[in-house]
C-alpha cells in the first residue's frame, strides 16, 4: 500500500467547470465559479516566445529548490530499481491554463518539463500529450511550439497504457479514476489514492459510481509502489501528491471493476 503524505495545514480550494473538470486554486479565499467555461477564443493571444520567457523564471525557481534535488534522487536512484519499467509516452491531464495568471499551473509545467528531461536520459518519449478544457489558445500554441500535442477531452484517456508517464496532480476523483481504469501506467504523479479510498458518500453522488472508483483506486494501489512527492516551498501543488511506479512483478495482473 502507498504511504500517506503528512497532514498539512490547509487543503487546496477548487472550482469545477461546466465540463466536469475541477481546477485547484491555491491561496484563494473568495472563489466564485465563472459564469461560463472559458473557450479558446475568449483568451488574449500571447505569443509562445512570451510564454517561454515567463516559464523560464518558473524553471529557475524549480531547479534551485530542495524539492527538485530530492525528486532527482527518486528518479535517478529509486525508479530504476523497478526492473523492466519502460516509458515511451507522457500524458498530462488537468494542468490548467498557465497563461491566465494561475501560478500553480506554471509551477507544475516547470516540474513536468524538468521531469521529462531527467526521464529522457533512459526513456524515449514518442509523444507528450496534454488534455484540459481550461486551456486557452495561447496554452495550446505554446505546447505545440514545444512539439507536444493537445487533445480534446476525453481522447487522452485512450492513450494511457503500461508504458505511460501520467502527470495528473489534483484531478477530481471521477476523472482520476477514469485515467487509471483501463491500464496501470508505468509512472504516475497524482493525488494520494489512500485518501480517496473509502471516503463517505456525499449527497447527490451515485453510490455505484463511488464503489467503482474505490475499486479502481484499490487495484491501482495494490499494483504500485509509492512515496509522497517532496514538498515544494514555492507553491503548494505537491501537497497530497504521490509518485507511483508500477510493480513489474505483477504488472500484467488485471482488476475487475464491475
How confident is the model over 38-95, as pLDDT tens digits?
444 345 689 999 999 999 999 999 999 999 999 999 999 888 877 778 999 999 999 9
Q: What is the pLDDT of residue 201?
A: 64
Of 257 and 72, more confident: 72
How confident is the model over 220-248, as pLDDT tens digits?
999 999 999 999 999 999 999 999 999 86
Give the span between the Cα atoms of 16 and 37, in whole angstroms. 10
Count CA atoms within 13 Å of residue 250 on its CB side: 12
Q: What is the pLDDT of residue 111?
A: 98
Q: What three-state secondary structure class fits 181?
A: coil
Give the span between the Cα atoms of 135 and 75, in whole angstroms. 29
| Domains in the chain, CATH or no CATH each | 68-250 (3.40.50)
Q: What is the pLDDT of residue 147?
A: 96
Give the span between the Cα atoms of 188 and 226, in whole angstroms. 9
Q: What is the pLDDT of residue 210?
A: 87
* Residues recorded for the chain: 258
Mean pLDDT, the chain, as a whole number? 83
Give the span between the Cα atoms of 114 and 235, in whole angstroms. 16
Question: Which whole number is the average pLDDT over 150-170?
Answer: 96
Q: What is the pLDDT of residue 175?
A: 95
Contact (CB, 8 A) for 142 and 48:
yes
The closest alpha carbon to 148, from 196, 95, 188, belongs to 95
Contact (CB, 8 A) for 44 and 138:
yes
- 257, three cell numbers: 471493476
If you search the block for the grid coordinates 477548487, which residue do you land on?
14
Q: What is the pLDDT of residue 82?
A: 79
For residue 51, CA distances in Å to 58, 127, 162 come to 11, 21, 32
For residue 154, CA distances in Å to 35, 127, 150, 228, 243 come to 23, 17, 11, 28, 24
Q: What are phi and psi of 211, to 5 degrees?
A: -60, -40
Give the span between the Cα atoms of 180 and 73, in whole angstroms. 26
Of 69 and 14, more confident: 69
Amino acid at each position: 500500500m502507498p504511504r500517506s503524505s503528512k497532514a498539512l495545514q490547509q487543503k487546496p480550494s477548487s472550482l469545477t467547470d461546466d465540463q466536469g473538470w475541477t481546477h485547484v486554486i491555491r491561496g484563494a479565499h473568495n472563489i466564485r465559479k465563472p459564469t461560463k467555461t472559458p473557450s479558446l477564443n475568449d483568451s488574449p493571444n500571447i505569443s509562445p516566445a512570451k510564454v517561454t520567457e515567463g516559464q523560464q523564471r518558473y524553471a529557475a525557481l524549480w531547479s534551485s529548490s530542495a524539492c527538485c534535488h530530492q525528486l532527482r534522487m527518486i528518479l535517478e536512484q529509486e525508479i530504476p530499481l523497478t526492473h523492466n519499467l519502460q516509458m515511451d509516452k507522457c500524458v498530462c491531464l488537468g494542468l490548467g491554463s498557465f497563461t491566465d495568471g494561475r501560478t500553480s499551473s506554471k509551477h507544475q509545467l516547470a516540474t513536468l518539463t524538468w521531469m521529462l528531461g531527467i526521464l529522457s536520459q533512459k526513456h524515449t518519449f514518442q509523444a507528450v500529450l496534454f488534455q484540459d478544457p481550461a486551456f486557452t489558445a495561447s496554452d495550446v500554441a505554446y505546447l505545440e511550439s514545444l512539439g507536444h500535442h493537445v487533445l480534446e477531452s476525453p481522447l487522452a484517456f485512450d492513450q494511457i497504457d503500461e508504458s505511460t508517464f501520467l502527470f495528473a496532480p489534483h484531478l477530481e476523483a471521477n476523472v482520476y479514476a477514469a485515467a487509471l481504469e483501463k491500464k496501470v501506467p508505468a509512472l504516475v504523479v497524482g493525488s494520494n489514492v489512500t485518501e480517496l479510498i473509502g471516503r463517505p458518500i456525499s449527497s447527490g453522488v451515485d453510490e455505484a459510481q463511488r464503489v467503482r472508483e474505490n475499486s479502481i483506486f484499490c487495484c491501482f494501489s495494490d499494483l504500485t509502489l509509492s512515496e509522497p512527492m517532496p514538498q515544494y516551498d514555492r507553491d503548494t501543488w505537491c501537497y497530497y501528491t504521490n509518485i507511483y511506479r508500477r510493480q513489474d512483478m505483477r504488472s500484467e495482473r488485471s482488476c475487475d471493476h464491475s
